[in-house]
Structure 1
Amino acid sequence: MENIVLCQSCGMPLDKEELKGTEQNGFKNEEYCKYCYENGNFKKPTMNLEDMKDTVSTQMKKLKLPIYTIQKAINILPTLKRWNGKN
């Protein structure tokens, strides 16, 4: 079974190169997606964990994903590098 790398901010699978964020030098970042991280910085640097939970929930509801899938995604957020204080 293949390990899927998740964005360490929002939990989005980084299974495609085009989903990865970028560093200032243009290289792809292996830990964060393009929606969270661009040019070496977080797009919303003042965002907190609760804000991210709301954002993830809203975006997943727009995709009409099942509530248990949304809840699972939200439950993962506190374990991610950006939110657990290990970044």
Structure 2
Amino acid sequence: MENIVLCQSCGLPLANEEVKGKEKNGLKNDLYCKYCYDDGTFTKPNMTLEDMKDIVSTQMKKLKLPIYTIQKAITILPSLSRWKNK
């Protein structure tokens, strides 16, 4: 089974270089996606875990993903690096 790397903020699979966020020096970041992290910082630094849960749920519903999949994604968010100690 393939080990899938997830954005440590929103849980988006970091399946290719194009979806990865960037550091200030332009290098790709292997922990966060481009929607959560750009230019060496979080795109929404004041976001809370509850805010992220709402965003992830809304985006997944727009994609018409099954409720089970959405619930599973929401459940893993607190275990991701950005939210672990908050």
CA distance in 2, matches of 1:33, 1:65: 20
CA distance in 2, matches of 1:19, 1:85: 25
**Paired letter, 1:44:** K
TM-score by length of 1: 0.97
1:45 equivalent in structure 2: 45
1:32 equivalent in structure 2: 32
* Identical residues among aligned pairs (%): 76
What is the CA-CA distance between 1:57 and the residue it aligns to? 0.1
Instruction: List structure 1 segments (4+ residues) > 2 angstroms apart after TM superposition.
Output: none
What is the CA-CA distance between 1:2 and the residue it aligns to? 1.3
1:42-70, Cα deviation, whole Å (9 max, x unpaired)? 00000000000000000000000000000
CA RMSD of aligned residues (A): 1.0
1:61 equivalent in structure 2: 61
CA distance in 1, matches of 2:78, 2:31: 15
Q: Which structure 1 segments of 5+ residues have no match?
A: none
What is the CA-CA distance between 1:85 and the residue it aligns to? 1.9
Q: Which structure 2 segments of 5+ residues have no match?
A: none
